Amino acid sequence: MKFQIKKITASILLCFGLSIAQAQQSNDASKCRYVKTATGYLMVLREGDNVIESIEKLVKEEKIPSGNFTGIGFAQEVIFGFYDFNLKKFNPKTFNKVEMGSITGSIAWNGEKPSLHIHGVATDEKFNAYGGHILSLKVGTGSMEVYITLNNGKLERKVEQPLNANVLQLPCIK
């Protein structure tokens, strides 16, 4: 009898614990990720969010023609890339559990897809700083704030040779 009561109690506690965990996940998923401001948007991303995917999703949803952004916050992982002009590709380097002291970037389009160009500086617990072109960025413990300022017109990026680099195209106005 005592064994059955312990087993039932353990089952109830397990179910209760799972319900709390599911409610927390559902609560995190339902949190607002961005709001409209007078000059653009403010995003607040949470632990585990993919920063690049989140910005691209906002750009698509809100049909942002072009803009620029800045950000700060904690990163679970950032991958910086240094462009090798001879090989025409980025050499990646990964850093984990860092604070993003600065993120800056621009928003344009490449055909039907948003095209982001992002640079940043990250610091570790010893205050060593690392930076460069951001290839990937995931939010760590805490949050990341991204402030987006809109431009008037749509801008495009196109791959230009001989660098094989995605370059912002400016419209010639006469």
Is the pLDDT at 3 greater than 50? The verdict is yes
95 and 26, same structural domain? no
The reported pTM is 0.81
131 and 48, same structural domain? yes
Residue 121 counted as domain residue: yes
Residue 84 structure tokens: 């090798």
Q: What is the mean pLDDT of the chain?
A: 88
82 and 60, same structural domain? yes
The pLDDT assigned to 32 comes to 86
Is the pLDDT at 60 greater than 70? The verdict is yes
Measured CA to CA, the distance from residue 64 to residue 30 in angstroms comes to 23
85 and 6, same structural domain? no
Residue 100 bridge partners (DSSP): 73, 122
The per-residue pLDDT for range 137-150, each reduced to its tens digit, is 999 999 999 999 99
38 and 26, same structural domain? no
121 and 81, same structural domain? yes
Residue 168 counted as domain residue: no
Residue 170 counted as domain residue: no
The pLDDT assigned to 5 comes to 58
105 and 51, same structural domain? yes
Residue 72 structure tokens: 């700060």
Give mean pLDDT, residues 3-7: 57
77 and 99, same structural domain? yes
Q: Which domain holds residue 13?
A: 1-30
Is the pLDDT at 68 greater than 70? The verdict is yes
The number of residues making up the chain comes to 174
37 and 26, same structural domain? no
Q: Euclidean distance between the first and final Cα of the chain, in Å? A: 89
The per-residue pLDDT for range 85-98, each reduced to its tens digit, is 899 899 999 999 99
Please tell me the total count of domains within the chain.
2
- What CATH number is given to the structural domain containing 134? 3.30.1330.80
146 and 96, same structural domain? yes
What's phi and psi for 76, nearest 5 deg?
A: -70, -40
Q: Residue 64 in contact with residue 104, Cβ under 8 Å?
A: no
The secondary structure of residue 1, as a DSSP letter, is -
111 and 46, same structural domain? yes
